[in-house]
C-alpha cells in the first residue's frame, strides 16, 4: 500500500514536471486507479475493452478520474478551461465551495462495479438518433447488463425500438427528467450554475418537485468531473470544437464502466437527418452546434473498425 502510494506520488511528480516543461498541465489530473489497457485478460468477456491496444491505450493512459469526489480535486488550469466553455465568471474559490456543498448531499464515493477477471460487464450506450425509429433493437438493448441513456431519451412508448431498462441516465439541467429510484443519475455539469441547480433541485425544491420534477435517488447520483471533459476535449478531440458533446462524453465514459460496449442511436438517420427518435422533425438536418460532430462520429466508426465497440447503425 505504501509502495503504491509512493509510486503514485512519483508518477504525479513526473507528470508535474512534464506539465511544466512541455504540454498543458491537464496531465496533473491523471487518474491512477483505472489501469490503462493491458495485455493480461482483465475481464470474463470474450474480448475486453481493456485488452491492450496501442491506439486506445495511448488515448486512455492520460485519463483523469471520471467522477467528481471530495478528494478528486481539479487543477486551476482545468477550472479555467471549464469556466470558459460556458463563460462563467465565478472564481475557483466559489467552485470549491459549491463542490463542498454538493458532497454534503450526494455520495462522496461513486458506486459502480469495477472490472474484474471474473466479470463481464456488457453495456448498451443508447443515443437519441432517429435511426432507432423502426429498428426493433429494444430486446437486444435490454439484454445488456448495463443500459446507458442520454438526456431526454424516453423509453415509454418506444420500448420496441429502444428497450425499457436504464441503469445510468446521463443528464444536464436542460435535459432533466424524472428517473425511477433504481436508475443512476450521471450528471454532466458544464458550469457552476449546473452544480448549484443540482443542489437546489435536491434540497429546497424537493417538496414542490415531489409531485412533478426531480425524484431521483440521491444515493445514486454521480457527477462527471470537469477534468474528464477537458481530457476528452484535449486528448480525443484534439481541441476541435468548443467542448465535447454529451453523447461523445458518454461514449468515452462507457469505456470505464463496461467491458464490452455496444452503441445504438448515434449519427444521422438513413436520410441524413440528425433528428431524435422521439420527436417528429421540425428542423431537418439539425446541426451539431459547438461540438465537432463529424470528428466524434469518425471516432465511433474507428472504435467499431478496431473492434473495440460494436456500432449498430440503426434503420
- Catalytic: 310? no
Give a three-class secondary structure readout of 67-98.
ECCCCCCCCHHHHHHHHHHCCCCCCHHHHHHH
Question: Site for ligand NAG (CB under 6 A): which residue of 96, 108, 116, 306?
Answer: 96
Question: Site for ligand NAG (CB under 6 A): which residue of 1, 4, 33, 93?
Answer: 93
Q: Per CB under 6 A, does 279 bind ligand NAG?
A: yes
Q: Per CB under 6 A, does 116 bind ligand NAG?
A: no
- Residues in contact with 85: Cβ distance below 8 Å, sequence separation at least 6, in sequence order: 190, 191, 229, 242, 243
Q: Per CB under 6 A, does 283 bind ligand NAG?
A: no
d(CA 140, CA 42): 25
- Closer CB to ligand NAG, 98 or 250, in the complex: 98
Q: Per CB under 6 A, does 265 bind ligand NAG?
A: no
CB of 161 to ligand NAG, least distance (A): 9
**Rule CB under 6 A: which of 139-178 touch ligand NAG?**
164-165
- Catalytic: 291? yes
d(CA 216, CA 135): 30
- Closer CB to ligand NAG, 168 or 299, in the complex: 168
**Rule CB under 6 A: which of 220-259 touch ligand NAG?**
none
Angular region, 96: left φ>0, alpha ψ -120 to 50, beta rest: alpha
d(CA 236, CA 244): 9
> Quick one: cell of 307?
473492434
CB of 35 to ligand NAG, least distance (A): 8
> Quick one: cell of 232?
476528452
Residue 224 DSSP symbol: B
> Quick one: cell of 56?
486506445
C-beta nearest to ligand NAG: residue:
73
- C-beta of residue 270 within 8 angstroms of C-beta of residue 236: no
CB of 2 to ligand NAG, least distance (A): 17
Q: Per CB under 6 A, does 118 bind ligand NAG?
A: no
User: Of these residues, 231, 243, 277, 278, which one is catalytic?
Assistant: 243
d(CA 60, CA 62): 5
Q: Per CB under 6 A, does 38 bind ligand NAG?
A: yes
- Closer CB to ligand NAG, 203 or 217, in the complex: 217
The residue among 119, 168, 123 whose CA lies nearest residue 258 is 123
- Closer CB to ligand NAG, 39 or 212, in the complex: 39
User: Of these residues, 169, 233, 276, 291, which one is catalytic?
Assistant: 291
List active site positions: 243, 291
Q: Which residues bind ligand NAG (CB under 6 A)?
A: 38-39, 52, 71, 73, 92-93, 96, 111, 130, 133-134, 164-165, 181-182, 217, 277, 279-280
Amino acid at each position: 500500500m505504501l509502495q503504491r502510494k509512493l509510486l503514485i506520488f512519483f508518477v504525479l511528480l513526473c507528470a508535474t514536471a512534464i506539465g511544466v516543461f512541455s504540454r498543458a498541465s491537464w496531465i496533473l489530473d491523471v487518474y491512477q486507479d483505472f489501469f490503462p489497457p493491458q495485455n493480461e485478460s482483465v475481464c470474463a468477456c470474450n474480448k475486453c475493452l481493456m485488452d491492450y491496444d496501442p491506439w486506445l491505450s495511448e488515448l486512455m493512459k492520460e485519463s483523469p478520474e471520471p467522477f467528481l469526489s471530495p478528494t478528486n480535486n481539479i487543477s486551476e488550469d482545468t477550472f479555467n478551461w471549464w469556466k470558459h466553455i460556458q463563460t462563467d465568471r465565478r472564481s475557483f474559490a466559489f467552485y470549491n465551495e459549491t463542490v463542498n456543498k454538493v458532497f454534503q448531499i450526494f455520495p462522496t464515493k461513486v458506486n459502480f462495479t469495477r472490472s474484474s477477471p471474473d466479470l463481464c460487464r456488457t453495456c448498451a450506450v443508447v443515443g437519441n438518433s432517429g435511426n432507432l425509429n423502426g429498428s426493433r433493437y429494444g430486446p437486444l438493448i435490454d439484454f445488456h447488463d448495463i443500459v446507458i441513456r442520454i438526456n431526454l431519451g424516453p423509453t415509454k412508448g418506444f420500448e420496441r425500438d429502444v428497450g425499457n431498462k436504464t441503469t445510468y441516465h446521463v443528464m444536464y439541467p436542460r435535459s432533466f427528467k424524472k428517473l425511477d429510484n433504481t436508475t443512476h443519475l450521471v450528471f454532466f455539469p458544464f458550469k457552476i450554475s449546473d452544480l448549484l441547480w443540482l443542489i437546489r433541485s435536491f434540497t429546497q425544491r424537493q417538496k414542490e418537485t415531489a409531485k412533478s420534477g426531480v425524484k431521483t435517488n440521491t444515493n445514486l447520483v454521480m457527477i462527471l468531473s470537469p477534468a474528464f471533459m477537458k481530457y476528452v476535449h484535449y486528448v480525443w478531440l484534439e481541441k476541435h470544437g468548443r467542448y465535447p458533446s454529451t453523447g461523445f462524453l458518454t461514449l468515452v465514459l462507457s469505456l470505464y464502466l463496461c467491458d464490452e460496449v455496444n452503441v445504438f442511436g448515434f449519427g444521422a438517420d438513413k436520410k441524413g437527418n440528425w433528428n431524435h427518435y422521439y420527436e417528429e422533425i421540425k428542423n431537418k438536418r439539425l446541426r451539431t452546434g459547438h461540438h465537432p460532430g463529424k470528428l466524434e462520429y469518425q471516432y465511433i466508426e474507428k472504435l467499431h473498425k478496431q473492434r473495440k465497440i460494436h456500432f449498430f447503425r440503426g434503420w
